Structure 1
Amino acid sequence: MIPFRAALSMSFLPAGAERSAWLLLAARGMRGFCDGFIAVLLPAYLLALGFGQLTVGVISTATLVGSAIATIVVGLLGNRYPQRALLLIAAGLMAATGLAFASLSSLWPLLVVAFVGTLNPSSGDVSLFLPLEHARLAEAANSDARTALFARYSLVGALSAALGALLAGVPDWIAARSVVSTLAAMRAMFVLYALTGCAICLLYLRLPKLKSRAKDGRAPLGPSRGIVTRLALLFSVDAFAGGLLVNSLLTLWLIQRFGLSLSAAGQFFFMAGLLSAASQLAAAPIARRIGLLNTMVFTHIPSSVCLIAAAFTPSLAPTLMLLLLRSALSQLDVPTRSAYVMAVVTPAERPAAASFTAVPRSLAAALAPTIAGGLLGAGWLGAPLIACGALKIAYDLALLASFRHIRPDGGSS
């Protein structure tokens, strides 16, 4: 008889994927859950420590820039060292980051930990885990199952992050019903983050060992260097556009334009997160029918049109409907993009390709919100939405023009 856990993993994994892939999906879910409450809790925690809003922005930027540099390093070293060893280091760094933030109160130590650690203040996955897990997932599935596996990976991450965001209110709930202060309860949440890092480390220890693909000191990118460079440049445009409208800025826009309460905003983002998670399931069957590249482009453009339209709607209800429709469409390209990158490079180049195409997303997330905040502060409330949507449409059209003739392994583009 098949054990329950094995049967559960086999039922969730697509045909053609190794059973060990469930370990990566479980780790992604645990990280996503922590990222969900950390993204909401981090600003409140820093304010509770006595820091101002500028300091909150500086520390958030440090986390994103540090993540970008870490992914570059992973890209350079990922093909020279065992992936499992690098994943274990990342999990250990996650545990250390949580303990440090739970115990430190001074600016400069926190800034250093933010830069070298694994905290993620954004809604997406921008950590050094990303290229490592992507490369390992690509190894764990054949070309037919790869898109479906990446779709499940993205689904788990989006759904767990949406649920994790609801946990951000726990410190206030504890403080209201006990003698524990809100600050102490917030510190406990970072301890939970650290314990989750330890649990993820145990999951990684169960991954099968794979031999390193490169022992001769070769450059991490070889025959696919031109493709990866073009993808990275295009992804940087998409990432910059997305950075103009991160969740915190979209919340600010809704409050300024419609007077939306924080409670209502929280409910909206929870629903948006559920729609984004559900859309991941549709990515694989759509990609099988029309191809990876077409799925990336022709589901992304309508979501950008909805975003631009939301900038001009006169009342709250149609605005929220357009934004929710955008949430249901905008993430369909996430698993297909990951699968496409893994499919157009050689196996030995996958860690580097995942890293070098992920780095622009972290850098753009750190830079673009400052511009968007300036536009909102100047009274141009619709400008970030219009700029975000227009840049994303330009990115989609450029991606289609540049890669429509390139076929990934085992499928049409």
Structure 2
Amino acid sequence: MQGIQPVTYVFAARALRDFADGFVAILLPVYLLALGFSPLQVGVIATASLFGSALLTIVIGFLGAHFDLRGLLLTAAGLMVATGAAMSAVNDYLPLLAVAFAGTMNPSAGSVSVFVPLEHAMLARESSDLQRTSMFARYNLVGALAGAVGALAAATPDVMTRLGLEQLTAIKLMFVLYAAVGVLGGLVYVRIPPRPASPELQKSTPLGPSRAIVIKLAALFSLDAFAGGFVVQSLLALWLFERFDLSLSQAGVFFFWTGVLSAFSFPVAAWLSKRAGLVNTMVFTHIPSSIALGLAAFAPTLPLVLVLLLVRAALSQMDVPTRSSYVMAVVTEAERTAAASFTSVPRSLASAASPALAGALLAASYRAWPLLICAGLKIAYDLLLLLQFRHLKPPEEC
């Protein structure tokens, strides 16, 4: 029973956090535009948020092997509370930029977060090799479903404005809700039994025998993340707002369904990986999703665009649980937090650069280019991953 409880609490905390990220990712560009900022400035704030997450994750990578994971998760939850409170209180651009950089706000509504390496290490610690991929699939399923509900909640300000509240005030209240969710997440983490790192782990270096593998994976994951940064959810929402004049309510419903499709792709990925292998599952589900994204850039009508983006949503996240499981499988237990962190950091740094570039392209009316660049780079990443790692098998495939 003790082995199950930490996993249950991690799932619950992930659900709460992704619910909040789901509405923040959609509301962030609307909030910033309502404050009078340009698409380029929106992209810069998204970049600052991702870059700050990268730096925090670096610190976590060094601390994870030496401190209780529970305590680090509680600290991250406190930072989430502070982020929501600050976002609801600040109107000026430079302070908002600082909050985005130092806080936990996630414009991608994905697994770019200081929480992730800590939760990955905890999940890997609590599962066997045969259970690991299914565990990560359930973990991501819970998060994606919660994120989909969060996307629906992004329409809440529209409801509030019909009741007489100003849109800006309504969105600020949603950031207050984000802070409240951080409090709830902290209360969940408190229930996890303390488990200080063993003396052996405390004496170990963050990365040892698996250093070369982690460096190669980090380089490839950074290419994937740089590509994905061109269409983080906030900017994809902005693209739909500007090209098709989508309303908040319509966007919320659309991103709800993308979240649902992504969620149910995770158990499918776990099932498929048992038959095709983790690397093959990552590659051969990812490439068709990138093709669908590239086609969406040229689709002439909103229904066709939405269909292509839904196809992408059904396929593009199948590499998430398989990627997490693969990283945990090819390193030692002592290296897991560092490996999760050091493969996440380049992803965060790389994804931090591209939203500002995408914002500049959107501001210059090159609306198709962010989608095309994303699709092309992701296909290149998939082919390189297959070439480099098709022969390095996790224990369950040997």
TM-score (norm 2): 0.91
Whether the 8 Å CA contact 1:64–1:366 is kept in 2: the answer is yes
Whether the 8 Å CA contact 2:53–2:112 is kept in 1: the answer is yes
Query: Which residue, 128, 142, 153 being the options, matches 1:142?
Result: 128
Q: Aligned with 1:212: secondary structure?
A: coil
Deviates more, 1:246-255 or 1:336-345: 246-255
Deviates more, 1:332-341 or 1:302-311: 302-311
Whether the 8 Å CA contact 2:88–2:175 is kept in 1: the answer is yes
Query: Which residue, 96, 111, 122 being the options, matches 1:110?
Result: 96
Unaligned runs of 5+ in 1: 1-5, 11-16
Q: Could you tell me how far apart the structure 2 residues matched to 1:255 and 1:31 are?
A: 25
In the TM superposition, what whole-angstrom CA distance separates every residue of 1:78-131 from its partner, at most 9, and x where no partner exists?
Answer: 111111110111111111222222333444443333222111122212111011
Mapping 1:172-321, distance limit 5 Å: 172-178=158-164, 180-213=165-198, 217-254=203-240, 259=244, 261-262=246-247, 263-321=249-307
Percentage of matched positions with identical amino acids: 56
Q: Which residue of 2 aligns with 1:3?
A: none
In the TM superposition, what whole-angstrom CA distance separates every residue of 1:44-98 from its partner, at most 9, and x where no partner exists?
Answer: 3344455555543333322211101000111111111111110111111111222
Whether the 8 Å CA contact 2:22–2:150 is kept in 1: the answer is yes
Q: Which residue of 1 aligns with 2:333?
A: 347
In the TM superposition, what whole-angstrom CA distance separates every residue of 1:27-60 from its partner, at most 9, and x where no partner exists?
Answer: 0000000001111222333444555555433333
Q: Could you tell me how far apart the structure 1 residues matched to 2:240 and 2:167 are?
A: 27
Unaligned runs of 5+ in 2: none
Shift of 1:343: 0.5
Query: Which residue, 82, 89, 110 being the options, matches 2:68?
Result: 82
Q: Could you tell me how far apart the structure 1 residues matched to 2:55 and 2:148 are?
A: 27
In the TM superposition, what whole-angstrom CA distance separates every residue of 1:332-369 from its partner, at most 9, and x where no partner exists?
Answer: 11100001001110011010111111122222332112
Q: Which residue type is aligned with residue 229 of structure 1?
A: I
Distance 1:286 1:309, change over 3 A: same
Shift of 1:289: 1.2
1:326 is the counterpart of 2:315 = no
Deviates more, 1:52-61 or 1:193-202: 52-61
Distance 1:136 1:48, change over 3 A: same
Distance 1:122 1:220, change over 3 A: same
Distance 1:265 1:411, change over 3 A: same
Q: Which residue of 2 aligns with 1:14?
A: none
Whether the 8 Å CA contact 2:328–2:336 is kept in 1: the answer is yes
Shift of 1:264: 4.2
Q: How many residues align?
A: 396
Q: Which residue of 2 aligns with 1:404?
A: 390
Distance 1:338 1:326, change over 3 A: same
Q: Could you tell me how far apart the structure 2 residues matched to 1:291 and 1:130 are?
A: 23
Q: Could you tell me how far apart the structure 2 residues matched to 1:24 and 1:69 are?
A: 23
Q: Aligned with 2:231: secondary structure?
A: coil
Distance 1:44 1:162, change over 3 A: same
Whether the 8 Å CA contact 1:147–1:336 is kept in 2: the answer is yes
Q: Which residue of 1 aligns with 2:351?
A: 365
Query: Which residue, 115, 139, 152 being the options, matches 1:153?
Result: 139
Deviates more, 1:265-274 or 1:73-82: 265-274
Q: Which residue of 2 aligns with 1:391?
A: 377
In the TM superposition, what whole-angstrom CA distance separates every residue of 1:232-253 from its partner, at most 9, and x where no partner exists?
Answer: 0000111111112223443454
Distance 1:184 1:373, change over 3 A: closer
Q: Could you tell me how far apart the structure 1 residues matched to 2:75 and 2:388 are?
A: 37
1:59 is the counterpart of 2:42 = no
Q: Aligned with 2:31: secondary structure?
A: helix
Shift of 1:255: 5.7
Q: Which residue of 1 aligns with 2:324?
A: 338
Q: CA RMSD in A?
A: 2.4
Q: Which residue type is aligned with residue 194 of structure 1?
A: A
Q: Could you tell me how far apart the structure 2 residues matched to 1:272 and 1:248 are?
A: 14
Q: Which residue of 2 aligns with 1:37?
A: 23
In the TM superposition, what whole-angstrom CA distance separates every residue of 1:159-211 from its partner, at most 9, and x where no partner exists?
Answer: 11111122122233224315x54433333222222221111111111112223
1:93 is the counterpart of 2:79 = yes
Q: Could you tell me how far apart the structure 2 residues matched to 1:235 and 1:278 are?
A: 23
Structure of greater Rg:
1
Q: Could you tell me how far apart the structure 1 residues matched to 2:299 and 2:160 are?
A: 40
Q: Could you tell me how far apart the structure 1 residues matched to 2:150 and 2:6 are?
A: 25
Query: Which residue, 145, 151, 156 being the options, matches 1:165?
Result: 151
